[in-house]
Amino acid sequence: MCRWLAYSGSPILLEELLYRPSPSLIDQSLHAQMGAEATNGDGFGVGWYGLDTTTRDMPDTRGPNVPVLFRGIEPAWNDQNLRELARSTSSGLFFAHLRASTGSPVQQTNCHPFRHDRWLWMHNGAIRDFALLKRDLTLAVDPALYPAMEGSTDSEVMFHLAMTFGLKDDPVTAVERMVGFVEATGRRHGVEHPVQMTVATSDGERMWSFRYSSEHQSRTLYVSAEMATLRLLYPDNPAFVGLSEETRVVVSEPVGDFAGAWHPFPESSYGIVQPGDDVMGDFRPRDP
């Protein structure tokens, strides 16, 4: 399994969450407390939204606000380039992921986050017996999206299935349809509980997170408390100074040692971090 973190709010340096808290996300690459494995050393990735390319004199042909990816196959704790990048790169919306492979090769194209146009996607969990289901799942991907799949993970197939089922238009429904399709495919092949997932995805403006498993025993997922609450709890802590009320962090397991700072996602739920009021709702797989 894996560990991941998704941040939305006032622009900060990536190192503020990757390295500075104790424990930090990078600490979890060696000493995860709530994952299936304590060590998550099969590569890493960060994806962040920066300058909106529509404001530049020479527009990027990829389109507006396309996220940047940096991924590597070394363990995150041992990658000096990641440390250098994190101390010099700031963003108001970024993903970070530590990979623990469930069987697919350790290669850059298998490292999260995955990207398509403005969208980022990362996943902790697995499709059980993926090798048995892979052909049926892959062939259901929209032919226009199929060439964009570069790796061999179940996570990337899930992403492109969600895109196929309408992620750009209605992310919650699209992910519910994706999970419903994977579960139906699993049942046809005799796989009783095919889906185990916590997922984050974003279009650069809002951030969606999902916690679900077919057996309803999902991996952990937490969201940070409101900034007003954190300032009341820790009035002398400089970490919370200058951050907007919109700032939120979603994590596989908490970073930093702040009692009361983290709220668990309920079983079978989704959350939306967005300007204004955030949303939490029930996640229900549906027929595609």
pLDDT digits (tens, 9 = 90+) for 202-215: 999 999 999 999 99
Instruction: Tell me how long the chain is.
Output: 288
pLDDT for 104 equals: 83
Q: Are 74 and 43 in contact (CB under 8 A)?
A: yes
pLDDT for 65 equals: 82
Does pLDDT of 61 surpass 50?
Answer: no
Q: Please give the single-letter amino acid code of residue 187.
A: R
pLDDT for 100 equals: 85
| Residues 6+ positions from 261 with CB-CB distance below 8 Å | 224, 225, 230, 233, 254
Question: Which tokens belong to 113?
Answer: 């986050």
Query: Closest by alpha carbon to 1, among 276, 196, 280?
Result: 196
C-alpha count within 13 angstroms, C-beta hemisphere, residue 206? 17
Q: Are 8 and 247 in contact (CB under 8 A)?
A: yes
Q: Can you name the residues that pair with 68 across neighbouring β-strands?
A: 48
Q: What letter would DSSP give residue 172?
A: H
> Using CA atoms, how far apart are residues 25 and 21, in angstroms rounded to an integer?
8
Q: pTM for the whole thing?
A: 0.93
Question: Which tokens belong to 161?
Answer: 């299935």
65: alpha, beta or left? (left if phi > 0; alpha if psi -120 to 50): left
Mean pLDDT for 19-28 is 91
Q: Are 98 and 44 in contact (CB under 8 A)?
A: yes
Q: Are 286 and 173 in contact (CB under 8 A)?
A: yes
Q: Are 95 and 208 in contact (CB under 8 A)?
A: no
More confident residue, 32 or 193: 193
Lowest mean pLDDT among 82-91, 96-105, 248-257: 96-105
216-270 tens-digit pLDDT: 999 999 999 999 999 999 999 888 888 999 999 999 999 998 899 999 999 999 9
Question: Which tokens belong to 281?
Answer: 């709702």
Average pLDDT over the chain, rounded to whole? 92
Mean pLDDT for 52-65 is 45
Q: Strand 207-213 relative to strand 269-273: parallel, antiparallel, unpaired?
A: antiparallel
| Residues 6+ positions from 55 with CB-CB distance below 8 Å | none
More confident residue, 100 or 10: 10
Share of the chain above pLDDT 70, in %: 93
pLDDT for 64 equals: 52
Query: Closest by alpha carbon to 223, among 262, 273, 255?
Result: 262
pLDDT for 40 equals: 72
Question: Which tokens belong to 269?
Answer: 């739920």
pLDDT for 54 equals: 38
Task: Give the confidence band of 39 by pLDDT, cuts at 50, 70, 90.
Answer: confident
> Using CA atoms, how far apart are residues 221 and 231, in angstroms rounded to an integer?
22
Does pLDDT of 60 surpass 60?
Answer: no
